[in-house]
Amino acid sequence: MEMPAPDPTVLARKDALIARFKEVLPKDAVISDPVETRAYECDALTAYKCPPLAVVLPSSTQEVAAALRICHEMQVPVVPRGAGTSLAGGALPSGDSVILGVARLTEVLETDFDNRFVRVQAGRTNLSVTQAVEEEGFFYAPDPSSQLACAIAGNIAMNSGGAHCLKYGVTTNNLLGVTMVLMDGTVIELGGPHLDAEGLDLLGLVCGSEGQLGVVTEATLRILHKPEGARPVLIGFDSNEVAGQCVSDIIKAGILPVAIEFMDRPCIRATEAFAGAGYPDCEALLIVEVEGSDAEIDAQLETISRIAQQHDPVELRQSASEEESARIWLGRKSAFGAMGQINDYMCLDGTIPVSQLPFVLRRIGEMSADYGLEVANVFHAGDGNMHPLILFNANTPGELERCEALGADILKLCVEAGGCLTGEHGVGVEKRDLMSDQYAPADLEIQMAVKDVFDPAWLLNPAKVFPLDISRAHRDRAA
Amino acid sequence: MLTPSTEDDLARMVAGAEGPLRILGGGTRPVGAVVNGTPLSTRGLAGVELYEPGALTLVAKAGTPLADVETALAAEGQRLAFEPMDHRGLLGTQGTPTIGGVVAANISGPRRIQVGAARDFLLGVRFVDGRGQVIRNGGRVMKNVTGYDLVKLMAGSHGTLGVLTEVALKVLPDAQAAATLRCRGLDDAQAVQALCRALASPYEVSGAAHLQKGAGDRPETLIRLEGFPDSVAYRAEALQKALGGVGVFEVETDPDATRAAWDGVRDVGPFHGRGGDVWRLSVKPTDAPGLVARLDGVEALYDWGGGLVWLLAPEDRGPAIRQAVSDTGGHATQVRGGGAGAFQPLAPAVAALQDALRHKFDPRGILNPGRMGRAA
């Protein structure tokens, strides 16, 4: 993975830049000491690191605007950063960039239970949004697995999902409005507590734009009342095909579970060794969770069990209590930890049409054997969002590169199967160079034209999403 | 009238166009300025191309009649959950609504409050931009964050960014049972209070409406529940209790009566065949009753728990309605009698972004120019 060489003319202006920042930001909000900027050298894609030129940590929309205005005037690239939990390198700096962190924007600005929304500053963590409304029985639905740490700003930038999106949708379906600062310091409002866009749906465009169109400082989020209860059923099968067919049959029966999680044998074995959740040793395991009152849950679980029985499961365990539910979820929730215990791993995020599941799993198995690297699969089966985990040893020379090559092949397979490169993590730098495998030149050209509108000089997070040679050619043509 | 029968045909026609084009699906929703240009209809691009019930996914060419899509889904016990409105009764139009038209105007119905709008169910698009290039964005899978989300941008762009040729949609299972809770005689504020309370419950309300003039010209407040029969019965009883302090809600479970009631809300039945302008307001629900009370001589139908307000208004109320919405927040569209001023005026910085986007997608300004209020 290549990053553009730092612009020496920007590096030469560092002192002037820091002096300008200090005119508009509190002293402790400007970080330029190379020891301290190192804390911002990477996000959760730790394979790539580069300390930024400087870091600014504004505490208000006005301070964000002031900082961006300076960078715009001095033509300095800006990399916005939420909590730095991106698995795709969305917040990876370049050496000539300023990290604009929203970590100090954490206030809850308004809660409105009658109209079912909460307005927060965008640096607030995902889980603490729910914590701000749960006393009244409400929650914020999108629940990425990093929800304890990840910021709403990053969720909006990547259009984050979670385990429960089959029923509740992803960030874009739960985002009602934003306050956003454009690269030139202009502050705009999109949406609000009312529904649907006036004019073109810029809110929908901004969500998932990976910090390339503007910096979101405030967000209005839809909140929902919690269901009365939720309980899962665990179903084990001796074949991936049959498990896939069972998922399809459940959906066709008119049930919309809140989550359908799928684990394959390598994943089951690893988590069993780690967490001891009592999972059966089988080819494929489903955890299907439904919501409602006790009676409603029982009725749905009965129907699901009846469907599953037609597929000869090796195990079928319906939860009847909170304790049993926790036990069923234990292995799934510790899957990533279990993998980390055995080895280094790379987590992929491609999505496929659910009908292609057996084919794609079979091909991944073959590719894994070809590369000599083990792959464990754990994913959201209801919506086809796969998370193949490639196990490798970072200390073995060449193994990271081999792992990345296998990862790229698996993602291309997802695209060939009618799916896409990334379902919820974003493109960032990680999948940037595969974009041409999914999109034709004209498809990418018009996306880059959108960036031209919001950020004509390509100062905001410029080295992400679009392959560097393609974006360079686009900008040369535009100039 | 240009009626391409393939996407390539359409691309060639747009590339070769020498003047403005008026983009048409079924032509049943003429909201906004009348475009003076050569009509270009997508009706020749028709047919469901892929439907996988087990994956909750349907892909159709843009000119496919909406009814064909709904028939295909019904055969598998599924539906378009966002419940697209039929504008013909309200606008007095003829023609056959198309799936592309539904998407281009981001048309939803009462269930929008629970499950989201048309744009939330749109997984992917193919369209021809103003240069005549075929563009693809999104796909046919439910979770996709690969590149910018032009899918959302195309939904509701009224043919001003491109001509849709194909749409991929997420679909959902149809409900096995439905019930309507009905209370008569509430005033607007009481009704919106009841609807907000119902929507803030765990009972999965899929419709929440208030008609100032329902059956017998009396106020009528409606709440819909859907799902498995036992579950609907359980939730209906629980909600009746929860709303006891506001009014007496009777439970209607007859499928035909329930469907008729909600089709009436969806298509704004009470305003059909009556004179006057029709406005559509999107506001914060609890602001709605006060906003309506400020306007003389209007009749209101509230949907989405009060967040969507349909107004039947005398012709001179435009400025007052715009002022009221501008004071309280939200936006207003004049759906009937609007013309060039139908859409909500935008803040200057936002308007500038939208104009610049249109210029990128359609540099010659030939796709429905001015339809959404500003000439490209």
Concatenated DSSP letters for A378-423? EEETTTTEEEEEEEE-TTSTTHHHHHHHHHHHHHHHHHHTT-BS-S
Q: What is the mean pLDDT of residues B11-35?
A: 95
- Residue A380 within a domain: yes
Q: What is the pLDDT of residues B60-96, one digit of tens each?
A: 999 999 999 999 999 999 999 999 999 999 999 999 9
Q: What's the total number of domains in chain B? A: 3
- Residue A435 within a domain: no
- Residue A429 within a domain: no
Whether the predicted pLDDT of B375 surpasses 70: no
8-state DSSP, B63: T
Residue with tokens 């379906």: A173
Q: Which of A335, A368, A386 is the last residue of a domain?
A: A335
Per-residue exposure over A63-79, b if at least 16 CB sit within 10 Å of its own CB, e if not: bbbbbbbbbbeeebbbb
Q: Say which amino acid occupies B242.
A: A
Residue with tokens 């308004």: A110
- Residue B357 within a domain: no
CATH number, domain with residue A353: 3.30.70.2740
- Residue B331's nearest CA partner among B106, B93, B159 is B106
CA B373 to centroid of chain Cα atoms: 19
Residue with tokens 């961006």: A68
Percent of chain A with pLDDT over 70: 100
- Residue A34 within a domain: yes
Q: Which of B224, B239, B266 is the last residue of a domain?
A: B266
**Cα–Cα distance measured from residue A349 to residue B307, given in angstroms and rounded to the nearest whole number:** 36
Residues A327, A412: one domain? no
**Cα–Cα distance measured from residue A155 to residue B159, given in angstroms and rounded to the nearest whole number:** 30
Residues A303, A397: one domain? no
Whether the predicted pLDDT of B157 surpasses 50: yes
Residues A44, A127: one domain? no
Out of B52, B150, B286, closest to residue A355 by CB: B52
Would an 8 Å CB–CB cutoff place A353 in contact with chain B?
yes
Whether the predicted pLDDT of A425 surpasses 90: yes
Residue B256: CB atoms within 10 A of its CB come to: 7
Q: What is the pLDDT of residues A255-278, one digit of tens each?
A: 989 999 999 999 999 899 988 999
Residues A71, A144: one domain? no
CATH number, domain with residue B246: 3.30.70.2190
Whole-number Cα distances in Å, A308 to A250, B21, B78, B239: 8, 54, 21, 33
Residue B287 contacts residue B329 (beta carbons within 8 Å):
yes
Q: What is the pLDDT of residues A272-287, one digit of tens each?
A: 998 899 999 999 999 9
Q: Which of B134, B155, B173 is the last residue of a domain?
A: B173
Residues B188, B75: one domain? no
Whether the predicted pLDDT of A345 surpasses 80: yes
- Residue A181 within a domain: yes
- Residue A430 within a domain: no
* Dihedral angle over CA of A130, A134, A136, A141, nearest 10: 50
Q: What's the total number of domains in chain A? A: 5
Q: What is the pLDDT of residues B175-197, one digit of tens each?
A: 999 999 999 999 999 999 999 99
**Cα–Cα distance measured from residue B285 to residue B278, given in angstroms and rounded to the nearest whole number:** 19
Residues B82, B130: one domain? yes
* Nearest-neighbour CA in chain A from B144: distance (Å): 4
> Which helix (H) or strand (E) is A154 found in, with range?
helix A152-158
Residue A444 contacts residue B148 (beta carbons within 8 Å):
no
CATH number, domain with residue A94: 3.30.43.10
> What integer pLDDT is reported at residue A231 of this predicted model?
96
Residues B117, B145: one domain? yes
Residues A207, A187: one domain? yes
Residues A358, A328: one domain? no
Residues A237, A285: one domain? yes
The answer to whether the Cβ–Cβ distance between A383 and B143 falls below 8 Å is: yes
Residues B253, B277: one domain? no
Whether the predicted pLDDT of B376 surpasses 60: no
Residues B160, B238: one domain? no
- Residue B4's nearest CA partner among B42, B30, B38, B36 is B42
- Residue B83 within a domain: yes
Residues B122, B229: one domain? no
The average confidence (pLDDT) of chain B is 96
What pLDDT band is residue A73 in, cutting at 50, 70 and 90? very high
Q: What is the pLDDT of residues B242-275, one digit of tens each?
A: 999 999 999 999 999 999 999 999 999 999 999 9
Residues B296, B244: one domain? no
- Residue B2 within a domain: no
Residues A265, A362: one domain? no
Whether the predicted pLDDT of B334 surpasses 90: yes
Contacts of B129 in chain A (CB under 8 A): 446
Q: What is the mean pLDDT of residues B50-67?
A: 96
Residue A105 contacts residue A122 (beta carbons within 8 Å):
yes
- Residue B265's nearest CA partner among B210, B317, B318, B187 is B210
Q: Which of A335, A351, A381 is the last residue of a domain?
A: A335
- Residue B181 within a domain: yes
Q: Which of B231, B266, B301 is the last residue of a domain?
A: B266
Q: What is the pLDDT of residues B158-179, one digit of tens each?
A: 999 999 999 999 999 999 999 9
> What integer pLDDT is reported at residue B374 of this predicted model?
65
Would an 8 Å CB–CB cutoff place A318 in contact with chain B?
no
Residues A154, A242: one domain? no
Q: What is the pLDDT of residues B269-290, one digit of tens each?
A: 999 999 999 999 999 999 999 9
Residues A281, A360: one domain? no
Residues B19, B150: one domain? yes
Residues B161, B23: one domain? yes
Residue A452 contacts residue A478 (beta carbons within 8 Å):
yes
Q: Which of A335, A365, A385 is the last residue of a domain?
A: A335
The answer to whether the Cβ–Cβ distance between B145 and A199 falls below 8 Å is: no
CA-based nearest residue in chain A for residue B120: A173
Residue B117 contacts residue A196 (beta carbons within 8 Å):
yes
Q: What is the pLDDT of residues B189-233, one digit of tens each?
A: 999 999 999 999 999 999 999 999 998 999 999 999 999 999 999
- Residue B349 within a domain: no
Contacts of B49 in chain A (CB under 8 A): none
- Residue A432 within a domain: no
8-state DSSP, B304: G
Range of the domain at A451: 440-478
Residues B237, B302: one domain? no
CA A417 to centroid of chain Cα atoms: 22
CATH number, domain with residue B298: 3.30.70
Contacts of B82 in chain A (CB under 8 A): none
> What integer pLDDT is reported at residue A479 of this predicted model?
81
Q: What is the mean pLDDT of residues A427-443?
A: 97
A 172-231 → B contacts, CB under 8 A = 172-173, 182, 186, 188-190, 192-205, 207-209, 225-228
- Residue B373 within a domain: no
The answer to whether the Cβ–Cβ distance between B144 and A193 falls below 8 Å is: no
Whether the predicted pLDDT of A80 surpasses 80: yes
Residues A221, A121: one domain? yes
The answer to whether the Cβ–Cβ distance between A116 and B55 falls below 8 Å is: no
Residues B41, B169: one domain? yes
CA-based nearest residue in chain A for residue B53: A252
Would an 8 Å CB–CB cutoff place A170 in contact with chain B?
yes
The answer to whether the Cβ–Cβ distance between B282 and A194 falls below 8 Å is: yes
- Residue B355 within a domain: no
Residues B247, B285: one domain? no
Query: CB-based burial of residue A246 (10 Å sphere; 0-12 exposed, 13-18 middle, 19+ buried)?
Result: buried
* Nearest-neighbour CA in chain A from B314: distance (Å): 23
Range of the domain at B257: 177-266
